Amino acid sequence: MAGPPAKDIPSDIREFIRSALAEDIGHGDLTTNLLIPREQKCSAHIITREAITLAGLPFAFEAFRLQEADIQFEALASEGERVRKDTVIASIKGHTRQVLSAERTALNILQRLSGIATLTRRFVSEVGELPTKVLDTRKTTPMMRSMEKYAVRKGGGQNHRFGLYDGILIKDNHILAVGGISNAVKRARGAHPFMKIEVEAENLEEVMEAVEAGASIVMLDNMSLEEMREAVKEVAGRVELEASGGVTLENVRAIAECGVNYISVGALTHSAAAADLSLEIVETV
């Protein structure tokens, strides 16, 4: 098994990985090229050093493939799988120079995405059987958004809008700039009558104004549990409600129990710790 075919990697992600390799390798891997014979080949394993939810193997493979087109890469665990500590999740066979030169870039991506998937899984597990969905946000690493949102999905979460271009979310500064929630919703609805329109609200009065103005979703921004419960009661299912701001593993269950439809968590992508992974050569020839 050589790993996922190259055509399955979107072109923008491939170019990102190519640029990441160039950033690290520059005009050449001095240490590896000095010490390792050009013809030497090796077998290597990627190993977990902690329990994780796995995400990113296709992108790690692409980093190695860009260094050596016919490198062998076998995934030994599935994307989204919960993997125990000290598990071999992939094996690699190729020229030692190319394996070592791509190692850091491949691991950086794999550790970052697995960290996001692992944290997302923890949030989703806290919500448990409740119908509330855990969403990500746009608080992502520049140029890594598509990969990071992929990792959220592998951790059991769902994606919010991808960027500014694929969803209408009227926030506090928009409201201030146009003179109020009702006016903002009216303008947005006039331009896009069939799109969902989400409005950020900071109190119950703003929630009800957004509902009456015709919002599709209302974001409850940094509200207390009591305020969220009251909003759920007053809205009574007329629109969907999303809780946002100050969400942690300690309070996400209580927020879900308020009855909101969604909880958006910026921490999934901006605060996830990198998973502890390593690459080890097991044989050279």
Three-state SS across the chain?
A: CCCCCHHHCCHHHHHHHHHHHHHHHCCCCHHHHHHCCCCCEEEEEEEECCCEECCCHHHHHHHHHHHCCCCEEEECCCCCCEECCCCEEEEEEEEHHHHHHHHHHHHHHHHHHHHHHHHHHHHHHHHCCCCCEEECCCCCCCCCHHHHHHHHHHCCCECCCCCCCCCEEECHHHHHHHCCHHHHHHHHHHHCCCCCEEEEECCHHHHHHHHHHCCCEEEEECCCHHHHHHHHHHHCCCCEEEEECCCCCCCHHHHHHCCCCEEECCHHHHCCCCCCEEEEEEEEC
Same domain, 204 and 147: yes
The boundaries of the domain holding residue 32 are 6-119+272-284
In a domain, 25, yes or no: yes
pLDDT at 104: 98
Count of CB atoms situated within 10 Å of the CB of 104: 16
For the chain, what is the mean pLDDT? 96
Number of structural domains in the chain: 2
Same domain, 131 and 266: yes
Catalytic machinery residues: 104, 139, 171, 200, 221
Same domain, 87 and 60: yes
60-116, pLDDT tens digit by residue?
Answer: 999 999 999 999 999 999 999 999 999 999 999 999 999 999 999 999 999 999 999
> How far apart are alpha carbons 157 and 265 in whole angstroms?
10
Does the pLDDT of residue 2 top 80, yes or no? no
Same domain, 199 and 218: yes
Do 207 and 220 form a contact (C-beta atoms < 8 A)? Answer: yes
Share of the chain above pLDDT 90, in %: 97
How would you class 272 by CB atoms within 10 Å of its CB: exposed for 0-12, middle for 13-18, buried for 19 or more?
A: buried
Does the pLDDT of residue 126 top 80, yes or no? yes
Do 124 and 256 form a contact (C-beta atoms < 8 A)? Answer: no
Q: What amino acid occupies position 191?
A: A
In this prediction, residues 223-235 reach a mean pLDDT of: 98
In a domain, 1, yes or no: no
0.85 surpassed by pTM: yes
Do 173 and 144 form a contact (C-beta atoms < 8 A)? Answer: no
266-281, pLDDT tens digit by residue?
Answer: 999 999 999 999 999 9
pLDDT at 1: 36
Same domain, 32 and 138: no
Same domain, 95 and 147: no
Same domain, 132 and 224: yes
Same domain, 225 and 133: yes
Same domain, 264 and 141: yes
- CATH number for the domain that contains residue 143: 3.20.20.70
> How far apart are alpha carbons 279 and 277 in whole angstroms?
7
Same domain, 114 and 208: no
Same domain, 92 and 163: no
In this prediction, residues 221-240 reach a mean pLDDT of: 98
- CATH number for the domain that contains residue 20: 3.90.1170.20
pLDDT at 8: 82
- Strand pairing class (277-284; 41-48): antiparallel
pLDDT at 6: 54
* Cross-sheet strand order for the sheet of 72-75: 72-75, 88-95, 41-48, 277-284
In this prediction, residues 23-34 reach a mean pLDDT of: 97
Same domain, 162 and 264: yes
